[in-house]
Amino acid sequence: KQEVTQIPAALSVPEGENLVLNCSFTDSAIYNLQWFRQDPGKGLTSLLLIQSSQREQTSGRLNASLDKSSGRSTLYIAASQPGDSATYLCAVQSTGYSTLTFGKGTMLLVSP
């Protein structure tokens, strides 16, 4: 059974810092990996999707990498802003399944 772990569970940084959020998964047989953002009391917003054949994806200040063999993904946020404050969730779609397995998330607070 696929398990997804996100470290750290919470992170507080001052505005302007570059930061890295980590995601690890136990079964490397994945189809894709997706990063989401969740604001308090809101739904999930898809940030980036990385196919298993890809090494990274970029969108603006966000860069997600994937190392399938080691079961790891990182989400890099450059020049963080207070508006980046949210919970970031990593989700994996395993080969042979059409459903996502989610991590518990990293709660990010960027202070001005």
Q: Is residue 61 a contact point for another protein (CB under 8 A)?
A: no
d(CA 35, CA 73): 10
Q: Is residue 93 a contact point for another protein (CB under 8 A)?
A: yes
Among 49, 62, 85, 107, binds another protein (CB under 8 A): 49
Q: Is residue 111 a contact point for another protein (CB under 8 A)?
A: no
d(CA 55, CA 69): 11
> In the block, which residue shows the tokens 């505005």?
15
As measured in angstroms, the least distance from the Cβ of 3 to another protein is 11
Q: Is residue 76 a contact point for another protein (CB under 8 A)?
A: no
Q: Is residue 44 a contact point for another protein (CB under 8 A)?
A: yes
Quick one: which of 81, 76, 79, 67 has its CA closest to 106? 76
- Calculate the CA 109 to chain-centre distance: 15
Q: Which residues pair with 59 in a beta bridge?
A: 62
Interacting residues toward another protein by CB under 8 A = 31-32, 34, 36, 41-46, 49, 89, 91, 93, 97-100, 102-105
